Amino acid sequence: MDWGMKNRIARIIKPDTGHTVMLAVDHGYFMGPTSGLEQLDKTVNPLLPYADTLMLTRGALRNYIPPDTDIPIVLRVSGGTSIIGNELLHEGIVASMLDAVRLNVAGVAFSIMVGASFERDTLLGLTRVIDEAENYGIPVLAVTAVGKDMVKDARYLSLASRMAAELGTHIVKTYFCKGFEKVVETCPVPIVIAGGKKMPEKEALTMAYDALQMGAIGVDMGRNIFQSTSPISMIKAVRSIVHEDATPDEAYEIFIRGNKKSR
């Protein structure tokens, strides 16, 4: 691995703890104006001091994030289908590696859809992105996407995560599930978990804690932070779990204290 690649990975995964809080706000690429991100800058910019990495699209980056912002960017480079279309997550490459370099990103993210009729398209898209990204020393985060009717169990998520790693991805983003240890143990690259749909804050914090205990190196969390009643308190609470070994109770206390103040 060359110096540039190692340096970018160290910007995403903090070397002092080996963990990361990635703030995911890329939802608009297939969901449009997602609740909480209608005016993305208003929600997201106050959260940036507490995030290690920001994951978003190039359009959101250019339009909402000032270029003098000091945060490593993971750029979503897959897309092409919407939440109302017939082939959700049948994604291709939507941003070139040249543009990723121009945007000075720390990494790029690409979704794969293992088990879908079009899985081959997304897997070949991922490998093309990996080949191009490696030319520039840019790490690739593979997102193991899951369709509406698909089961997010350890068997499926291990399959998708291991495949992504075998195809050359540098970091895998997947979901927490029962038997998550198996997903981590059988995947040779670092794993972060997505948050998924908004749930009560204590549940989301417990999920993050359990994932970290079972070997995830962090979270790539969106809705459970930016749709919270107090997004700043929630990201601080998540951060305490990821970087400070806080228990779910301790983290929830951080959330509750901040939530009361913000009212």
Binding mask 121-160 for ligand R5P (x = CB under 6 A): ----------------------x-x---------------
**Among residues 24, 61, 100, 234, the one that binds ligand R5P under rule CB under 6 A:** 24
Question: If binding is defined by CB under 6 A, does position 191 make contact with ligand R5P?
Answer: no
Question: If binding is defined by CB under 6 A, does position 92 make contact with ligand R5P?
Answer: no
Question: If binding is defined by CB under 6 A, does position 201 make contact with ligand R5P?
Answer: no
Q: Decide the pairing of beta strands 78-79 and 92-93.
A: antiparallel
**Among residues 20, 53, 111, 233, the one that binds ligand R5P under rule CB under 6 A:** 111
Catalytic residue among 173, 197, 236, 261: 173
Residue 168 half-sphere exposure toward CB, CA atoms < 13 A: 15
What b/e readout covers 17-30, taking b as 16+ CB neighbours within 10 angstroms? eebbbbbbbbbbbb
Q: How far is the CB of 2 from ligand R5P (least distance, A)?
A: 27
Look up tokens 């540039």; give the residue: 4
Question: If binding is defined by CB under 6 A, does position 23 make contact with ligand R5P?
Answer: no
Stretch that binds ligand R5P, among 22-30, 58-66, 119-127, 150-158 (CB under 6 A): 22-30
Pairwise CA distance, residues 104 & 98, whole Å: 10
Q: How far is the CB of 213 from ligand R5P (least distance, A)?
A: 19
Q: Is 14 a catalytic residue?
A: no
Distance from first CA to last CA of the chain, Å, rounded? 48
Question: If binding is defined by CB under 6 A, does position 91 make contact with ligand R5P?
Answer: no
Tell me how far CA of residue 85 lies from CA of 13, 18, 76, 91, 115, in angstroms: 35, 39, 20, 12, 18
Residues that bind ligand R5P (CB under 6 A): 24, 26-27, 55, 111, 143, 145, 194-196, 220-224
